[in-house]
Amino acid sequence: MAAVPMAETTLLVFRGDRESGKAVEYRVPFAPGMVVLDALHLIQARQAPDLAVRWNCKAGKCGSCSAEVNGRPRLTCKTRMDSLPRDKPITIFPMKAFPIIKDLVTDVSWNFKVNRKIPPFRPRPDVEWKMYQRDVDRVQEFRKCIECFLCQNVCHVLREHGKEEEFGGPRFFVRVASLDMHPLDDVSRASVLKEELGLGLCNITKCCTEVCPENIHITDNAIIPLKERVVDEYYDPLLRLVRKIRGAGRA
């Protein structure tokens, strides 16, 4: 490090729990290439040892360190401090759509419950285990998901309308898409999508796609094709008839 005195940055970090909380100001030294998570760790080590932050890999691969930085949902480990305006304090708040446990840590357990509603991968009977890259490519996009839940956090069906009971959220549409579009899968999840995950409530505002740190085209590549699938299955009388005759082994 050069001997030049380092600049400082001011952060306003949410401190509190389920009952109450407020933004608290901290000043940290500003180093080149620093990310927001580095600043939070500095605060923990020097000023607030009990500041609760979730993180694991610090490399954008685990999806643990999601928060709202200057009002925008992001991974704190991939948000460079020098990408943020420094003429005013940087605000760091927990994800809004989930109940607060403490400080920046929220209760995301609801997501794990939703996941259990999804019928697992089941290969076609007597399948030969061959797949081609062109067929795998499409599915691999969805499997990049690191479960940061930022898409869940910005989805207004959850964030503003609190439809946790009826709605699964973009993360789990991506997951259903990854199963449904697996070249060797043999399960129809249309009824689950319609009845239990409330796919119809999504009105395609694309907020989820915008915040995805893995650049998954959640709306265009996962949600819209799934919506079409549900429409085919439920509202296309001709297709329904064909399926009925064929039997097709579908649930």
Partner 1 sequence: MTLAHETHEHDVLIIGAGGAGLRAAIEALAQGVRVGVVCKSLLGKAHTVMAEGGIAAAMANVDASDDWRAHFRDTMRGGKFLNNWRMAQLHAQEAPERVRELEQWGALFDRTENGEILQRAFGGHSFKRLCHVGDRTGLEMIRTLQDRGVNLGIDVYMECAITRLMKDGDRIAGAFGYWREQGRFVVFKAKSVVICTGGIGKAWKITSNSWEYTGDGLALAYDAGADLMDMEFVQFHPTGMVWPPGVQGILVTEAVRGEGGVLRNKNGERFMERYDPKRLDLSTRDVVARSIYTEVREGRGTEHGGAFLDISHKPAEYIKRKLPSMYHQFLELADVDITKGPMEVGPTCHYMMGGIRVDAETAQSSVPGLFASGEAAAGLHGANRLGGNSLSDLLVFGRRAGLAAAEHAKRSPTPTIDSLQIADAEREMLLPFERGGGESPYAIHEELQDVMQRLVGIFRTEEDLRQALSGIEKLQERTARVHVEGSRLFNPGWHLARDLQSMLTVAEAVTRSALARRESRGAHSRIDYPDLDDAWGKMHNVVVKKADTMKLFESPVIEMSDDLKQLLIEESGTK
Is residue 227 within 8 Å of 236, Cβ to Cβ? Answer: no
53 binds partner 1 (CB under 8 A): yes
The CA–CA distances, whole Å, from 241 to 75, 190, 247 equal 47, 16, 10
Interface characters, 161-180, with partner 1 (x: CB under 8 A): ------------------x-
80 versus 206: smaller Cβ distance to partner 1: 80
Interface characters, 132-151, with partner 1 (x: CB under 8 A): xx--x--xx--xx-xx----
In whole angstroms, give the CA distance from residue 142 to residue 217: 8
- In whole angstroms, the minimum distance from the beta carbon of 242 to partner 1 comes to 28
Is residue 108 within 8 Å of 100, Cβ to Cβ? Answer: no
Maximum distance among all Cα pairs of the chain, rounded to whole angstroms = 79
Interface characters, 219-248, with partner 1 (x: CB under 8 A): ------------------------------
In whole angstroms, give the CA distance from residue 147 to residue 110: 13
Number of residues that bind partner 1 (CB under 8 A): 56
Q: Which of 27, 72, 96, 102 is the binder for partner 1 (CB under 8 A)?
A: 102
Residues 6+ apart with CB under 8 A from 216: 141, 142, 144, 145, 174, 209, 222
- In whole angstroms, the minimum distance from the beta carbon of 237 to partner 1 comes to 33
Interface characters, 57-96, with partner 1 (x: CB under 8 A): xxxxxxxx-------------x-x----------------
117 binds partner 1 (CB under 8 A): no
132 versus 235: smaller Cβ distance to partner 1: 132
Task: Tell me which stretch binds partner 1 (CB under 8 A): 113-121, 199-207, 227-235, 237-245.
Answer: 113-121
Please name which of 204, 207, 170, 217 lies closest in space to residue 72, comparing C-alpha atoms: 207
Judge residue 56's burial from the number of C-beta atoms within 10 Å of its C-beta, 0-12 exposed, 13-18 middle, 19 or more buried: exposed
In the chain, DSSP finds a helix count (H) and a strand count (E) of 10, 7
217's tokens: 């085209």
By CB under 8 A, name the binding residues for partner 1.
Answer: 1, 17, 31-35, 38, 44-46, 49-64, 78, 80, 101-103, 105, 108-109, 112, 115-116, 120-121, 123, 129-133, 136, 139-140, 143-144, 146-147, 179, 182, 185
